[in-house]
Amino acid sequence: MTRKPVDRKPVYLAVYDTLADWETGHTTAYLARAGHGIRTVGASGDPVRTIGGLRIQPDLTLDDVRPEDAALLILPGADLWDTGDELAPFARTAREFLAAGVPVAAICGATAGLAREGLLDDRAHTSAVSFYLAATGYAGGDRYVDTDAVTDGDLVTAGPTEPVAFAREVLGLLGVYEGEVLDAWYRLFHDSDPGAYEVLEAAGK
């Protein structure tokens, strides 16, 4: 399943303490294989520690980020999304990206951050469960969809148990995989379907 990289705009991956390691690996790996550089973005230049204890040194800070320079902003989940306002600047950056027409992908606790920022009030979305977002006091409860992952325009959302569906939506949104190839990719990594591997091999993916 190798793919020759092409020149594409970089993808910004937000990083912060307590980042949920498992949520974005499929997404970033296959975006990188498709030619998107992955650049980590911190609130400052200080290293952060993930839930799994990995130390990440940010490539950029939020002050360095401009939507026009990127293909996508990814906001992973983290315990900090639910313990205060420390990560609110990342949600405000997501607002800037969406206003500029640049996609944002949020998973797990990051969806609550977007809800608090008002970004889910008028967009179809999902998360861990509906009452998790309802606790934020947001106005978008009637737009909640009880499914694995949702894309509405330039916004992707997913819950913490759906890293593969999250990646599926992002890869489709950015045109990395499409149609039966995207479906096969999902079936391979979500369902361990050997027939899906044959489809990907035949497509040179």
Q: Which residues are catalytic?
A: 108
Confirm if 143 and 124 have CB atoms less than 8 A apart: yes
Confirm if 39 and 59 have CB atoms less than 8 A apart: yes
Find the Cα–Cα–Cα–Cα dihedral 156, 66, 45, 31, rounded to 10°.
40
Confirm if 113 and 87 have CB atoms less than 8 A apart: yes
Phi-psi region of 175 (alpha: psi -120 to 50; beta: other; left: phi over 0): left
- Sheet with strand 104-107: strands edge to edge: 60-61, 38-42, 11-14, 72-75, 104-107, 155-158, 149-152
Question: Residue 154 in 3-state DSSP?
Answer: coil
